[in-house]
Amino acid sequence: MICLTCEDILTKITLKGYKNMLKLAKTSLLAVAVMATSVVASDILVTVNGKNITKQDAETFVNASSPKTHFSQLDAAQQNMIKERLVEKVLFTELAKQEGIDKKPEFIRNMAKIKEELLVNMWMKIQMDNAVVSESEAKEFYNKNAKKFMQKESVHARHILLKEEKDAQAIIDELKSLKDEALKAKFIELAKTKSTGPSAPKGGDLGNFTKGQMVPSFSKAVWALKVGAVSTKPVKTQFGYHVIYLEGKTDAKPIAYEEVKDKIIMSLKQKQFSTKITEVAKELKSKAKIVDTSKEVNIIKK
Q: For the residues of 17-81, what is the DSSP string, one character each?
A: TTTHHHHHHHHHHHHHHH------GGGEEEEETTEEEEHHHHHHHHHHH-TT--GGGS-HHHHHH
Can you tell me whether residue 134 is helix, strand or coil?
coil
Residue 293 is predicted with a pLDDT of 86
Distance, CA of 34 to CA of 122 (rounded, Å): 6
Distance, CA of 25 to CA of 19 (rounded, Å): 11
Confidence of residue 172 (pLDDT cuts 50, 70, 90): very high
Distance, CA of 79 to CA of 72 (rounded, Å): 8
Given a contact cutoff of 8 angstroms between Cβ atoms, the answer to whether 211 and 223 are in contact is: yes
Strand partners, 249: 155
Which helix or strand (DSSP H or E) is residue 248 part of?
strand 240-250
Residue 73 has pLDDT above 50, yes or no: yes
User: What is the mean predicted confidence (pLDDT) over 2-12?
Assistant: 43
Given a contact cutoff of 8 angstroms between Cβ atoms, the answer to whether 203 and 209 are in contact is: no
Residue 294 has pLDDT above 90, yes or no: no
Confidence of residue 42 (pLDDT cuts 50, 70, 90): confident
Q: What is the largest CA-CA distance in the chain?
A: 86
> pLDDT for 189-217, tens place per residue?
999 999 999 999 999 999 999 998 999 99
Residue 67 is predicted with a pLDDT of 82
CATH 3.10.50.40 fits 153-251, yes or no: yes
Residue 287 has pLDDT above 80, yes or no: yes
Residue 297 is predicted with a pLDDT of 58
Distance, CA of 243 to CA of 157 (rounded, Å): 11
Provide the terminal-to-terminal Cα distance of the chain, rounded to the nearest Å: 57
Residue 40 has pLDDT above 70, yes or no: no
Residue 68 is predicted with a pLDDT of 84
Question: The whole model's pTM is what?
Answer: 0.57
Residue 92 has pLDDT above 80, yes or no: yes
User: Residue 103: how many CB atoms within 10 A of its CB?
Assistant: 9
The lowest-confidence range among 24-38, 60-74, 77-91, 215-229 is 24-38
> pLDDT for 104-129, tens place per residue?
999 999 999 999 999 999 999 999 99
Residue 64 is predicted with a pLDDT of 85
> pLDDT for 147-164, tens place per residue?
999 999 999 999 999 999
Average pLDDT, the chain: 87
